[in-house]
Amino acid sequence: MSWSVAEIARMSGVTPRTLRHYDERGLLPPAGIRSNGYRFYEQEQLLRLQQILVLRELDLGLDAIAAILDRQTDRVQALRDHYTRVIRERDRLTRVAQTLARTIEELERQEGTAGMVEINRPENLFEGFDPSRYESEVLDDFPDQQQARERSKRFTDSLSAEETVRMQRETTAAMIRMAELMASGTVVSDRSVQAEIDVAYQLIRPTWNPDADAFKKLARTYLDDPAHTVNFDRIAPGLAQYYRDAMVVFADTRLN
C-alpha cells in the first residue's frame, strides 16, 4: 500500500513542506514518483518518519538523526533504543512536574506571611531538570563545537535516571556552596572559590575542553542570557555575576 504526500501529512501532522525538506536532506526519500510527478510513500518510509519524529521529540538535530538512522542495522533494536530514550525522558519530565508541584505547594503555604520565607531544601528546586540541555544551548554560541554537542548528547543519553538525578543534585549543591561563599564576602580569586570553578570545569571536560577565551565567553552567557541568569539568581541574587567573575579569574590563571 502507498500514500501520497497529502495523506502522510494528515496522518503525521508533518507539513508537505517539511516532507520535501526531509527529502532534500536525504533523510526521507519517497518510495517513488508516480507518472503524474507526485511522490508516494510506503510502509518503509512511514516507519522511518516515525523514527525521525521520535528523535526530534528528544531534541536531536537533523544531522544527528541522519547519522543515527544511517548506522542502523536492526530496525527492531533501533526502536527498542528509541523506546528506552522516550521512557527516560518521560520519567525525567515526571520528576520536573513533581518538583513544580512541591514548589507550588510550598509557596502557597507561604501566602499571607510577611516577606519571602526561605525555601526548605533549595536543592530540590531543580530536581528533574537536565543541565546538559543548558550546556548544549551554550555550545550553540560556539560554531566550531559541533563535536562537543554530539559528545554531550551521547554522554547524557548514556546516564541512568539515578545518575542524572545525582548529577542534578551535585550541580545544585555546588551552586549553593558558591552562594554561601558570595554571601560571606569571599573574593572570586580566593582558593575556595576557584576550587569550586575547577570542579565545574572538570565536569564539562568529558564533552568539551574550552580554552581561556571560550571559557570566558561561556561565563559571559551567564549574564547575557536571561534564561541562564535566572537559573543562578533563583539560588541567590547576584550569583550569576559572581560565577562569571570567578570563571574569568579561572580562565586567566589556569587556562592561559
Instruction: Give residue-wise pLDDT tens across range 120-140.
Output: 554 455 555 554 444 444 445
Whole-angstrom Cα distance, residue 193 to residue 254?
Answer: 13
Fold of 123-255: Globin-like (1.10.490)
CATH number of 3-71: 1.10.1660.10
pTM, 2 dp: 0.45
**Band (157; pLDDT cuts 50, 70, 90):** low
Cell numbers at 83, concatenated: 523506546
CB-hemisphere CA count at 13 Å for 48?
Answer: 21
Amino acid 165: pLDDT = 66
Residue 238 contacts residue 182 (beta carbons within 8 Å)? yes
Amino acid 117: pLDDT = 47
Amino acid 123: pLDDT = 47
For the chain, give every domain's residue range.
3-71, 123-255
Residue 186 contacts residue 204 (beta carbons within 8 Å)? no
Whole-angstrom Cα distance, residue 180 to residue 14?
Answer: 49
Residue 222 contacts residue 182 (beta carbons within 8 Å)? no
pLDDT tens readout for residues 74-111: 878 877 877 777 787 777 777 777 777 776 777 677 66
State yes or no: pLDDT of 194 exceeds 90. yes
Whole-angstrom Cα distance, residue 162 to residue 88?
Answer: 11
pLDDT tens readout for residues 226-244: 767 877 877 788 888 999 9
Amino acid 190: pLDDT = 94
Angle between the 191-204 and 161-183 helix axes, to the nearest 10 degrees?
A: 160
